[in-house]
Structure 1
Amino acid sequence: MTFQLMRLQPDSVALAAWATRHGVLSPDGDYGYALHGLLSAAFGEQAPRPFRYMGNKQGLLAYTLENLETLRQHASLATPDVARALGLDALDARPFPSVWKEGQTLGFEVRVRPVVRAKDGRERDAFLHAADAIPAAEGDGIAQRALIYGGWLAKHFAVDGAAKIIQAQMEEFRLTRVLRKAGTGENGKRKSHAVTGPDAVFKGQLQVGNPDAFARLLARGVGRHRAFGFGMLLLKPASSC
């Protein structure tokens, strides 16, 4: 198996219809849970993750260890509604680098959900979690959020010495409601509920530290909710940043 970058072009109308029919469209229109379900339906245990849905024009990107032929074999078994929603007829993939050099500089982009585990075990916005340590004069501004979320991101990059951030900026931020399932209803099925949390996109440059750890970071993704559209580390040559 080789590390692959996969691309799909979901049909926006069919995707919205499938998500609505299955009750997996968030109040804010986030397709993360729907795409998680569709990818699992099409590829089973080999469902690619992390993934990033870039919208109707750019489609869906994902990392996978399966080659294109195997992916197409799985996709051929999907039901027509799943195939139409994901755009499986246009499935494409290409080998992606899996060997990196220590000190290598790369441009990156990543969509993350910067949350931490509170003492009670629940997820909490990393900014709110750090609020007690923020001087009152600095307030609740977007710049302070960017600083705290940037620190959160740097810690994830630094696990096992994978990489360090050279420079980064928060390009997008909003609070979004995403669907998650927990508990079981009277019909025996897991109940869905909306969870509000931070949704941020960072762009910048990084430097590879430990090459093996960096390869693991790329395959694993950054932070939590990686199976729902967060955490895919997109890379490009540093000279293009």
Structure 2
Amino acid sequence: MTFQLMRLQPDSIALAAWATRHGVLSPDGDYGYALHGLLSAAFGEQTPKPFRYLGNKQGLLAYTSESLETLRLHASLATPDVARALGLNELDTRPFPSEWKEGQALGFEVRVRPVIRAKDGRERDAFLHAVDAISAVEGGGIAQRAVIYGDWLAKQFAVDEAAKIIQAQMEGFRLTRVLRKASTVENGKRKPLAVTGPDAVFKGQLQVGNPDAFVRLLARGVGRHRAFGFGMLLLKPALSC
């Protein structure tokens, strides 16, 4: 499997205008649903994912298996408002490693939505599931959340022995409302619905386990909501952490 790391520099004003016009800006200002729609409009079935929007200064990063030429060809067909919102004229990529050594140490950063599927099929905060619906204050607060979410993250890395965490810390946490398509249909369409859930950023060091499984983890992303700005595993040399 070959990788490219893609970068875009969305125009913050055009992005906000597009999201507002299409009714896809969450009550908390999260652009995940809007960027999902914009990327799909620009690239179709070749939509890069997972992706991470790092704000106006750092832009949007994504993993893709498509070549720069193919991506630019798709981007050239985008409408002016989509091209302006995403900054498609500045589309760029660089080759990203696709071969790793077992035991290799790497620094990482990842934004995740640590949720699990409940028995009724609905998503539930992994923290609330672990403490049986005790509130964050009564259940030990942010420190206990960090431990529980850290355990959840370790399990995601451990699938097919892809990687294990050497050390990690939760650098950021908040409860955010993000938009997802409602299960009910109104006027022939499923309207976006605001869903509240955990939004956490972890940084630390990992150790590569099974190299092939690790490549699949990078391509798939971590956890759920990977097509909406969560789960992209950003890597750096371990010594720079």
Query: TM-score, normalised on structure 1?
Result: 0.97
For residues 2 and 209 of structure 1, what CA distance do their matches in structure 2 show? 19
What is residue 152 of structure 1 aligned with on the other side?
Answer: 152
Give the count of matched residue pairs: 240
Cα deviation 1:197-228 (Å, max 9, x = unaligned): 00000000000000000000000000000000
Give the alignment's TM-score, normalised by structure 2: 0.97
**Contact 2:131 2:139 (C-alpha < 8 Å) held by counterparts:** no
Aligned equivalents of 1:187 and 1:118: distance in 2?
29
Q: 1:119 maps to which residue?
A: 119
Give the letter aligned to residue 23 of structure 1: G
SS of equivalent residue, structure 1 residue 158 = helix
CA distance in structure 1 between the aligned counterparts of 2:145 and 2:6, rounded to whole angstroms: 32
Q: Give the corresponding residue for 2:141.
A: 141
Which whole-Å deviations, capped at 9, do the CAs of 1:77-125 have from their partners, x for residues lacking one?
A: 0000000000000000011000000000000000000000111110000
Q: Cα gap change, 1:99/1:182 in structure 2, threshold over 3 Å: closer, same or farther? A: same
RMSD of aligned residue pairs (Cα, Å): 1.6
Q: How does 1:54-93 map to 2 (within 5 A)?
A: 54-93=54-93
Alignment partner of 1:194 is 2:194: yes
Q: Verify the 8 A CA contact 2:107 2:240 in the aligned structure 1.
A: yes
CA distance in 1, matches of 2:165, 2:104: 12
Once the two structures are TM-superposed, the CA of residue 7 in structure 1 deviates from its matched residue by 0.1
Q: Which sections of structure 2, spanning at least 5 residues, go unmatched? A: none
Please state how far the C-alpha of 1:187 moved relative to its aligned partner: 2.1
2-side partners of 1:182 and 1:133: how far apart? Answer: 24
- Structure 2 Cα separation of the partners of residues 137 and 6 of structure 1: 40
CA distance in 2 between counterparts of 1:100 and 1:37 reads 33
| CA offsets 1:105-160 (integer angstroms, 9 cap, x no match) | 000000000000111110000000001398x9973310000000000000000000
**Conserved 8 A contact 2:39-2:47:** yes
Say whether residues 1:212 and 2:228 are aligned partners.
Answer: no
1:191 to partner: Cα distance: 1.5
Q: Map residues 1-241 of structure 1 onto 2, 5 A cutoff.
A: 2-132=2-132, 139-241=139-241
Residues in 1 aligned to 2:152 and 2:80: alpha-carbon distance in whole angstroms: 41
C-alpha separation between the residues in 1 aligned to 2:186 and 2:223?
Answer: 33
CA distance in 1, matches of 2:119, 2:197: 17
- In structure 2, the CA distance between the partners of 1:25 and 1:165, relative to structure 1 (3 Å rule), is same
The unaligned stretches of length 5 or more in structure 1 are: none
CA–CA distance in structure 2, aligned partners of residues 137 and 146 of structure 1 = 13
Using the aligned pairs only, state the percent identity.
89
**Aligned-pair CA distance for 1:72:** 0.4
Question: Which structure 1 residue ranges, 4+ long, deviate > 6 Å from structure 2?
Answer: none
What secondary structure does 1:178 align onto? strand
